[in-house]
Amino acid sequence: VFVVLVGLLVQLVPLKDITFWKTGRLVALSEQNLMDCSWAQGNDGSFGGLMDNAFYLIPFTFERKNPANNKPDYSAANDTGFLDIQKEKFLMEAVATVGPVSAGIDASRDTFHFYKDGIYYDPACSREYVNHAILVVGYSSEGKDSNNKYWLVKNRYKTSNVKFIF
């Protein structure tokens, strides 16, 4: 269900968190810089693109620095690599050991647009058509049935977090 797509904050949150965990420094990273400067990587500004393409732009400059000065000397955070995670067991491992993970979903379903709370599940969601970026921040289960597992997800469409069944 989770395939990579765009969402500017979705790319920056894991990078900010990992930079903090590794260095103890909180860094301000610019979503606007990522949007403006990843055209050469194949993205289309405010019309979207792929997360992978945005990650290629990093090392990432401080928000207060000139965004055109994308040089290692001004680097606030570095991306030493990323993976497309295709299996949910590997996504679970990454969330547990690395931290929040950028992911994408099919958000075109009416069930998603009218989702209010609880665990979201729509078997008609596409694994191939992915049009919305989310941030997977954890996982859990609900009730006595250990098969009722779900992802804890931050989502910019809604003010509340979303739980996706897996």
CATH number, domain with residue 106 = 3.90.70.10
Expressed as residue numbers, the domain containing 26 is 8-77
Same domain, 64 and 97: no
Last residue of a domain, one of 49, 77, 105: 77
Q: Taking residues 117-145, report their average pLDDT.
A: 83
Last residue of a domain, one of 50, 77, 104: 77
Report residue 110's pLDDT band, with 50, 70 and 90 as the boundaries: very high
> pLDDT tens-digit profile of 1-49?
333 333 444 556 667 776 777 778 777 766 666 666 666 766 666 666 6
90/87 Cα distance (integer angstroms): 5
Q: Please, what is the end-to-end C-alpha distance for the chain in angstroms?
A: 9
Same domain, 73 and 94: no
Q: How far is CA 39 from CA 4, 12, 48, in A?
A: 18, 17, 10
Burial (0-12, 13-18, 19+ Cβ within 10 Å), 143: exposed
Last residue of a domain, one of 48, 77, 106: 77
Same domain, 67 and 117: no
Q: Which of 69-78, 106-115, 149-158 has the least mean pLDDT?
A: 69-78
For residue 88, the model assigns a pLDDT of 87
